[in-house]
Amino acid sequence: MTPLRVPVKSALRATTTAASVTRMWGRIEARSRSRAGAPVSRGRMALLVAAAILLAIVGLAGAWPRQGTSVASPPGPVLQADGDVVHPIRVDRDDHRLALSDGTVITLSAGTSLEPLNNSEDTVVLKQGVGRGRYDIAPGGPRRWTIECGQATIEVVGTSFEIEKRDRGVHVDVTRGVVLVRGEAVPDRVVRLTAGMSIDVPGGPLGPARSVHEGAVEAAQPPVAESAPSLAAPGAPRAPVARAWRKLAAQGEHEKAYTALGGGGIAVEARSAPVDDLFALADVARLSGHPGEAVEPLRRILADHAGDARTSLAALTLGRVQVRSLAMPDAAARSLQMAMTLGIPSGLSEDAHALLIEARSTAGDRAGARAAYARFRLLFPESARTSELRRWLVEP
Amino acid sequence: MVRAPARPQAERAAAESDALLVAGARRGDARSKERLYLKHVDYVAGMCTRLLRSTETSEDVVQDAFVIAFSKLESLREPEAFRGWLASIAVSQVHRRLARQRVLKLFGLDRGLDDAPLDELAREDLSVEARSELAALDLALQQLPPKQRIAWMLRYVEDSPLDAVAEACGCSLATVKRWISVADAHVKAYVQIATEDEPS
């Protein structure tokens, strides 16, 4: 008897949630509203059609915001979808959805507060209190968005992410786009998160959070090394440091290479490093016993060098570090899925699929681990690891 | 406080006919539009997620489909056939999105995450064997050209009748039958699955 019957969807679960239905409706309403407008003259229509054709050609290369997902927003501050100004909000009992005139939707959980600190035609600064806020910022808009939440400041330009502010820290989870998270307790005081990444910023006696002023972007200052000797004194040119660590890394002297880079040196070097150096920096971090510092160079490969043929290797390495060294199995599962989507070389595919089973099981996702195991058996029926991997399917 | 569409409204919307809701939406009644959305969003979103293998991309396409449908309601000849008409619009947007992804992939610019292959969407209670078959089906479908894959999925995953599949794919009944037949032969080389003309 075949285990699969038609229609196949009877074997599948629903794909929508209350949150996704609400989120999509907010955007549909906003877009439908912006499409309603005055009739256009024939001459102007011809010009618009010509411009649209040109934009469509450029848009295919992904150079412009995605078609159909951005909303033309009039100049001036962003308003609520009903035309009212954005007021401070404190949500009492039920979740509150705030739809804005540019297509952005903010969903706040019960007990959460939100206060606009600045709202203009090019900037929106909001302050979120304790609780959970889900932000679906309409991409392609003219405004830079900043969310202040105590220990961290989050900067976005069209993305989808969630902030949970607790008494002892802030958790930021990015679903789509790019987000900068700044804070005293953030590694190097600023970290760049892309889709699938998250960060927990600890709380504690850190003092008042710094606000990011309009238009200003503060460069992160690396912490000064106290005990580790460094070939570059603060303020000295980094070229001698760059040559030294590379040579040591090429010789397999990863601990010496790490010392040569100095405290925070990997993150500093990663800012402007080419892909080869980013891989090498990640190796220095991993192989010198500092796996947490491998994350930044690997993230940069994925975010800034998406066209490089080795991005899948970066995603795979990131997933391995996250599950084996950093106890971040959820993030590891996302990294490994990304690696598979990008296309892993056949020689590493079995390892990647095995890691995914481990990551999901460690994250408590038993159903996902079983799904990954089923796929592993299908792809690698002769694998000697099949029996060993079964342990990840057993309840602890 | 901004009013959001609550899920219980979905049940109420399901009881109202599409003809009535379309008529209301044409008159500019916002609640009718909302009810049309609630009545059909699960169906359209599920179909798009399964065709695109991505929840994020699917949400974009669902929004595009509803915005287009609401802007073209006057052109809908048979209001009671709103769902099929909406599905055609959605499938057309799926085709466009897949074509765009292929171009972006050529330039290394596609940053989408395929987070919804069929085996990842399996019900919790599904057996390991059935999950394995879903994984195999997903792999087999990925090897097909988009037109054949979409036609087969609309027929045997989404359970659409043949004429609706032809309408959604924008081709003749004969053409869609041919696509489905070719795809079916390919799929059955990988998966044990009984389609309509075969005993289970």
Residue A80 DSSP label: B
- Chain A closest-CA separation from residue B115 CA (Å): 7
Are the beta carbons of A131 and A147 closer than 8 angstroms?
no
What is the residue-averaged pLDDT of chain A? 76
Name which of B70, B109, B194 is nearest A61 (Cβ-Cβ): B109
A to B CB pairs, distance under 8 Å? 187
Flag if A15 and B130 touch (Cβ within 8 Å): no
What integer pLDDT is reported at residue B91 of this predicted model?
A: 95
Residues 6+ apart with CB under 8 A from B93: B48, B61, B64, B65, B68
Range A228-245 average pLDDT: 51
Higher pLDDT, A81 or B14: A81
Lowest mean pLDDT among A101-115, A222-236, A279-293: A222-236
Q: Confidence class of residue A192 from pLDDT cuts 50, 70 and 90?
A: low
Q: Which residues of A are less than 8 Å from B45 in CB distance?
A: 15-16, 20-21, 24
What integer pLDDT is reported at residue A242 of this predicted model?
A: 60
Cα separation, A79 vs A73, whole angstroms: 10
Measure Cα distances from A251 to A257, A261, A281, A284 in Å. Answer: 9, 15, 14, 11
pLDDT of A222 strictly over 60: no
Q: Which residues of A are less than 8 Å from B188 in CB distance?
A: none
Flag if A341 and B157 touch (Cβ within 8 Å): no
- Chain B closest-CA separation from residue A21 CA (Å): 7
- Chain B closest-CA separation from residue A382 CA (Å): 15
Mutation site for A-interface testing, chosen from B7, B47, B55, B67 by largest number of A Cβ within 10 Å:
B67
Which pTM value belongs to this model?
A: 0.52
CB count in 10 Å sphere of residue A378: 19
What integer pLDDT is reported at residue B160 of this predicted model?
A: 92
Helix (H) or strand (E) run with residue B65 in it:
helix B55-71
CA-nearest of A361, A285, A269, A271 to A317 is: A285
Residue A386 DSSP label: H
For tokens 């940069």, what's the residue? A300
Angle between helices A239-250 and A254-261 (to 10 degrees): 170
- The CA-based diameter of chain B, rounded to the nearest angstrom, is 56
Mutation site for B-interface testing, chosen from A1, A21, A86, A390 by largest number of B Cβ within 10 Å:
A21
Residues 6+ apart with CB under 8 A from B173: B162, B163, B166
Q: Which residues of B are less than 8 Å from A374 in CB distance?
A: 119, 128, 131-132, 134-135
Name which of B42, B135, B159 is nearest A7 (Cβ-Cβ): B159
What integer pLDDT is reported at residue A157 of this predicted model?
A: 60
Q: Confidence class of residue A211 from pLDDT cuts 50, 70 and 90?
A: very low
Flag if A60 and B136 touch (Cβ within 8 Å): no
Q: Which residues of B are less than 8 Å from A28 in CB distance?
A: 37, 63, 66-67, 70
For tokens 């489905």, what's the residue? B180
What integer pLDDT is reported at residue A236 of this predicted model?
A: 45
The ipTM value here is: 0.87
Flag if B159 and A66 touch (Cβ within 8 Å): no
The DSSP string of A3-18 is: SEESSGGGGB-----H
Name which of B1, B67, B104 is nearest A28 (Cβ-Cβ): B67
Flag if A21 and B5 touch (Cβ within 8 Å): yes
Q: Which residues of B are less than 8 Å from A337 in CB distance?
A: 113-115
Measure Cα distances from A362 to A102, A317, B157 in Å. Answer: 40, 18, 32
- The four Cα atoms A47, A50, A51, A57 give a dihedral, to 10 degrees, of 180
Flag if A6 and B195 touch (Cβ within 8 Å): yes
Residues of chain B predicted below pLDDT 50: 1-5, 198-200
Cα separation, B69 vs B11, whole angstroms: 22
Flag if B109 and A15 touch (Cβ within 8 Å): no
Flag if B119 and A175 touch (Cβ within 8 Å): no
CB count in 10 Å sphere of residue A96: 20
Tens-digit pLDDT profile for residues A297-336:
998 888 888 778 888 899 999 999 999 998 889 889 888 9
Mutation site for A-interface testing, chosen from B63, B89, B152 by largest number of A Cβ within 10 Å:
B63
Tens-digit pLDDT profile for residues B79-120:
999 999 999 999 999 999 988 877 776 666 555 567 788 988
